[in-house]
Amino acid sequence: MTTPLRLGIAGLGTVGVGVVRIVQTHRALLAARCGRPVEITAVSARSRGRNRGVDISGYAWEDDPVALARRDDVDLVVELMGGEDGPALALTRAAIDAGKDIVTANKALLAIHGQEIAEAAESAGVALRFEAAVAGGIPVIKALTEGLAGNAITRVMGVMNGTCNYILTRMEDAGLPYDTVFDEAAQLGYLEADPTLDVGGIDAAHKLTLLAAIAFGTRPVFDAVDIEGIERISIDDIRHAADLGLRIKLLGVARMTGRGLEQSMSPCLVPADSPLGQLKGGTNMVVLEGDSVGQIVLRGAGAGEGPTASAVMGDVADIARGLRIPAFGQAAAGLATVTPARATAAKPFYLRMTLLDRPGALARIAAALGDAGVSIDRMRQYSHEGTDAPVIIVTHKTTRDAIDHALGLFGGTGVLVGDPVALAIESV
């Protein structure tokens, strides 16, 4: 009989339970597709007695995940605990030292320590796979490392946090303000324990870090990503965008330029009739552009038990079949050191501001834009009551640096009420 691939699972939360469920439900299917049985021999989690809805009584239990990695009856460690340091990092290092292959869904761990871990895994001759760390059930890492290996990737772009997409589309569909939808998302369990990871763009930036490293052959450096969350997006922004035929998305964009690697995760406007503009709810979408293939759009569930566990098992199946490729698509030691670059590609911008309702106020703002080298394409002043006047400006194509210069000049006009909002309008 063919030797089974024996799994040790660390972390029995939503995704861990999903992996157990797939292994138990699809034994014959996995054996046929992998050419060998896949079985679970040991598990580790914080609470042994918790009812998880799956039977784990037949598996050895380890309170210490490091001990799980060192077991003789474990060939492959599945790390599903989360966290960039602590037990997840200790487990991963222990697994490599013990010569065990690793499958993880931990984007934070890899965005921060990915270079170290990948080099150590390759030196030890063990596999490191992380399909489930990015975009849930969408096989985007496999697409980049395998299907598009013959392409020079020109741009990676996408919606990579389902919670943010849910909040933004719910605001539009229901006409609800941000705070109301945020509270609703929290009650539904959509937000991380630290909500800033979601709405602050950090979770999605972890994912963009990994995709950019694979796409452009660079070392993953999370600190090189320009990050802005969705906390300042108002229902007025949602409505104004709709009036302009646009929708707001938390959008990750990475491209390599002659100046270095541009990586940003920020709210942007996209055409409402584009694939990204039509993306609703908690769904993710990643757009890959290569010099030979052109544009590829991948869409699917970005989180949840089934989709993420599906991605984990895709990696497990590859290792069971004997497919072993470098974690980032090429030898980790050969990945280039990142030279961070600010985005310089010219694009239109949406500006939303509130001005004092006095003669010449709008002229002062227009003059400030002119002094910064920014020209106006469209401008709207909405009806209002009182002394504050809401104004929307859409610029012609310009750079982020020019916009930031203009925003700095606005402060000296004496007519601005509060802080303006500036969002790039991305072509798709």
Give the pLDDT of residue 277.
95
Tell me whether residue 100 is one of the annotated catalytic residues: no
Give the pLDDT of residue 380.
87
Using left for φ > 0, alpha for ψ between -120 and 50, and beta otherwise, residue 14 falls in alpha
Q: What is d(CA 421, CA 161) in angstroms, rounded to the nearest whole number?
A: 21
Give pTM, 2 decimals. Answer: 0.93
User: For 61-111, how does the pLDDT look when each residue is reduced to its tens digit (9 = 90+)?
Assistant: 999 999 999 999 999 999 999 998 899 999 999 999 999 999 999 999 999
The ranges assigned to domains in the chain are 149-299, 349-425
User: For 143-170, how does the pLDDT look when each residue is reduced to its tens digit (9 = 90+)?
Assistant: 999 999 999 999 999 999 999 999 999 9
Q: What is the mean pLDDT of the chain?
A: 94
Q: Which band of pLDDT confidence, cut at 50, 70 and 90, is reported for residue 252? A: very high
User: For 171-185, how does the pLDDT look when each residue is reduced to its tens digit (9 = 90+)?
Assistant: 999 999 999 999 999
- The Cα angle at residue 283 between residues 324 and 138, in degrees rounded to 5: 15
Q: Which band of pLDDT confidence, cut at 50, 70 and 90, is reported for residue 357? A: confident
Q: Collect all residues with Cβ–Cβ distance below 8 Å to 172 and sequence separation of at least 6.
A: 238, 242, 247
Of 330, 152, 343, which Cα lies nearest the Cα of 261?
343
CATH number for domain 349-425, candidates 3.40.50.970, 3.30.1490.190, 3.30.70.260, 3.40.50.150: 3.30.70.260
End-to-end alpha carbon distance in the chain: 52
Q: Which of 100, 107, 142, 207 is catalytic?
A: 207
Give the pLDDT of residue 110.
98
Give the pLDDT of residue 1.
47
Q: What is d(CA 45, CA 222) in angstroms, rounded to the nearest whole number?
A: 28
Q: What is d(CA 105, CA 132) in angstroms, rounded to the nearest whole number?
A: 5
Specify whether the CB–CB gap between 77 and 44 falls below 8 A. no
User: For 289-330, how does the pLDDT look when each residue is reduced to its tens digit (9 = 90+)?
Assistant: 999 999 999 999 988 899 999 999 999 999 999 999 999 999
Do domains 149-299 and 349-425 share one topology? The answer is no
User: For 225-247, how does the pLDDT look when each residue is reduced to its tens digit (9 = 90+)?
Assistant: 999 999 999 999 999 999 999 99
Give the pLDDT of residue 345.
82
Give the pLDDT of residue 79.
98
Of 161, 142, 270, which Cα lies nearest the Cα of 207?
161
Mean pLDDT throughout 127-155? 96
Give the pLDDT of residue 374.
96
User: Which CATH homologous superfamily contains domain 149-299?
Assistant: Dihydrodipicolinate Reductase; domain 2 (3.30.360.10)
- DSSP of 269-309, one letter per residue? EEETTSTTTT--TTEEEEEEEETTTEEEEEEEE-SSHHHHH
Residue 55: exposure state from Cβ atoms within 10 A (0-12, 13-18, ≥19): exposed
> Which residue is associated with the tokens 């569930």?
301
User: For 368-411, how does the pLDDT look when each residue is reduced to its tens digit (9 = 90+)?
Assistant: 999 999 999 999 887 767 778 899 999 999 999 999 999 999 99
User: For 99-114, how does the pLDDT look when each residue is reduced to its tens digit (9 = 90+)?
Assistant: 999 999 999 999 999 9
Give the whole-number percent of the chain exceeding pLDDT 70. 99
Q: What is d(CA 77, CA 100) in angstroms, rounded to the nearest whole number?
A: 7
